[in-house]
Amino acid sequence: MDEIREHRIGTVSHWYSHLGVAAIDLTDGDLHVGDQVHIIGHTTDLMQPIHSMQIDHHPVHEAHPGESVGVKVGDHVREHDEVYIVDEG
């Protein structure tokens, strides 16, 4: 049976409700298009793949600690929600 592991990569710094976009400050890991993320907070529990992301309104395929990235999300998230990468294997 496959084990699912998660490791924290950052936090949501802002939620743009009119765009459905979360700004994520990366602190502890890289984020790539295609990664599966799990966003967890007091009332948030969202798991989804990253289809696209932007830094300063420019599309990027990867982002690294110290960067803030905008990611389209499928549900409402909140500032201070924790963001994890999901490793299946």
Domains, the chain, ranges and CATH? 4-88 (2.40.30.10)
DSSP β-ladder status, 31-32 and 36-40: unpaired
Per residue in 21-66, pLDDT (tens digit) is 999 999 999 999 999 999 999 999 999 999 999 999 999 999 999 9
The pTM (predicted TM-score) of the whole model is 0.92
Tell me how far apart the alpha carbons of residues 62 and 70 are, in angstroms, rounded to a whole number: 11
Closest CA to 17 of 84, 77, 89, 82: 77
Tell me how far apart the alpha carbons of residues 46 and 37 are, in angstroms, rounded to a whole number: 8
pLDDT value at residue 79: 97
Q: What φ, ψ does residue 78 adopt, rounded to 5°?
A: -130, 155
